[in-house]
């Protein structure tokens, strides 16, 4: 095992202080949105002594384990991030493996540069995700039952001509109605902008309402504060809103439309940069690709809570081959054997102090520090703090 240093990503939606405080670095007044740990080409982590993780894996493929070598082409198949959002991110979804491979080949055939803003597929890999809240975390994820959404809009008291825009939610099959309305809300014209004004104006009168209506109204007003007049705000209102408490998670399978609104968390994902944006952004939106990739089937998006495997060891059962995730709650007098010995693992400390030992060797990690643990290394954790451990998936 070796200390591992990640890379900081500054995007304008990031919070100023949350990630710097976790990492123990100065707050400089500029947004810090993400901190990446892994071997992704856009943010390769460094091992002790400055060796790039991807180069170390290339030199010694055994360090990531047989599953990653055989199933994922010798690459580390997951990426671990700290993510902190001060304002809403774009509406987005990620492709499954077949769509990613086909899209990547298609854009390569027309010689679209990898860094082109018109490019959708930057690699041939899928991107399942797991977001685990470190603070209260707000997100939109998965499509709500369309009839419930239509009823919420009616309860807001919107004008009849605006209700007409959402009529397919009541009169088409659930998936077809959602797809029709979602894509229609991406059209930038005065009629849709007028509908946004109507919905937001009506929502202002229900901000103090209890239950789902109040939450729906507050979501509309929040999005309008950051994306005033943007018709894709209406598309975002088709999604479930989920409020996570620390330790709770959302599992986002490929094809799930989502948008993070606020909060700080640990994000674990397939190591890919494929993002299909569906609104609340100035970046490229490929409507034809969205139709192929996005799952418009209504889904409830339950909050995922970890299962206890042993004292201080909690497993987030996502069922992905690219990654498996555990929370480590270290406490004085407690020795926790780290799972997934056959996989290369990344451990990130998010509070307190966690010590790692292999018997003869030891490593003390403070909040914000991390380590790479090679396959076949039997490691125990102790101390007084919290950490997250990620390995190649074992529970699919």
Burial letters 17-55, b for 16+ CB under 10 A, else e:
ebbbbbbeeeeeeebbbbbbbbbbeebbbbbeeeeebbe
**Which residues fall within 8 angstroms of residue 78, CB to CB, at 6 or more apart?**
38, 268, 269, 270, 271, 322, 323, 346, 390, 391, 392
Cβ–Cβ contacts within 10 Å for residue 214, how many?
14
**Which residues fall within 8 angstroms of residue 330, CB to CB, at 6 or more apart?**
312, 336, 352, 353, 354, 355, 381, 382, 383, 384, 385, 386, 387
HSE value, Cβ hemisphere, 13 Å, CA-based, for 376: 6
Residues designated as active site = 277
Question: How are beta strands 370-373 and 362-366 bridged, if at all?
Answer: unpaired
Rounded distance between C-alpha atoms, residue 371 and residue 328, angstroms = 14
Contact 311, 382 (CB under 8 A): no
Q: Which residue has the tokens 């901190």?
A: 35
Q: Which of 328, 306, 316, 320 is nearest to 379 (CA)?
A: 328
Q: Which of 154, 238, 255, 241 is nearest to 198 (CA)?
A: 154
Q: Which residue has the tokens 């290339």?
A: 58
Q: Rounded to the nearest 5 degrees, what angle is found at the Cα of 42, between the Cα atoms of 315 and 25?
A: 70
* Cα-based torsion angle of the residue sequence 212, 217, 220, 226 in order, rounded to the nearest 10 degrees: -110
Q: Give the containing element (helix H, strand E) for 192.
A: helix 190-204
């Amino acid at each position: 095992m070796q200390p591992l240093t990640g890379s900081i990503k500054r995007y304008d939606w990031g919070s100023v202080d949350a990630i710097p405080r976790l990492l123990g670095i100065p707050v400089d007044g500029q947004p810090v949105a993400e901190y990446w740990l892994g071997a992704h080409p856009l943010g390769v982590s460094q091992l002790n002594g400055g060796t790039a993780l991807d180069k170390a894996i290339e030199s010694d493929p055994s360090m990531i384990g047989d599953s990653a070598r055989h199933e994922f082409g010798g690459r580390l198949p997951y990426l671990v991030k700290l993510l902190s959002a001060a304002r809403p991110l774009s509406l987005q979804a990620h492709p499954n493996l077949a769509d990613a491979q086909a899209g990547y080949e298609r854009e390569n055939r027309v010689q679209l540069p990898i860094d082109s803003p018109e490019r959708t597929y930057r690699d041939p890999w899928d991107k399942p995700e797991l977001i685990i809240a470190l603070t209260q975390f707000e997100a939109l994820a998965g499509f709500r039952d369309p009839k419930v959404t239509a009823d919420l809009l009616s309860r807001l008291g919107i004008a009849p001509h605006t209700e007409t825009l959402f009529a397919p939610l009541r009169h088409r099959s659930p998936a077809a109605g959602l797809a029709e309305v979602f894509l229609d809300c991406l059209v930038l014209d005065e009629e849709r902008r007028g509908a946004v004004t109507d919905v937001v104006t009506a929502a202002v009168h229900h901000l103090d309402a209890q239950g789902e209506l109040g939450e729906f109204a507050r979501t509309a007003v929040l999005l309008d504060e950051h994306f005033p007049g943007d018709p894709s705000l209406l598309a975002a209102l088709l999604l479930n809103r989920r409020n996570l408490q620390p330790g709770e998670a959302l599992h986002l399978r490929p094809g799930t439309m989502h948008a993070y609104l606020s909060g700080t968390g640990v994000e674990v994902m397939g190591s890919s940069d494929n993002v299909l944006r569906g609104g609340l952004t100035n970046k490229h939106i490929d409507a034809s690709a969205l139709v192929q990739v996005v799952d418009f089937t209504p889904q409830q998006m339950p909050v995922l809570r970890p299962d206890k495997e042993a004292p201080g060891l909690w497993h987030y059962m996502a069922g992905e081959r690219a990654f498996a995730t555990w929370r480590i709650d270290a406490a004085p007098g407690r020795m926790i054997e780290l799972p997934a010995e056959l996989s290369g693992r990344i451990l990130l400390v998010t509070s307190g102090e966690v010590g790692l030992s292999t018997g003869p060797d030891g490593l003390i990690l403070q909040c914000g520090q991390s380590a790479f643990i090679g396959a076949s290394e039997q490691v125990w954790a102790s101390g007084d703090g919290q950490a997250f451990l990620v390995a190649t998936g074992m529970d699919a």
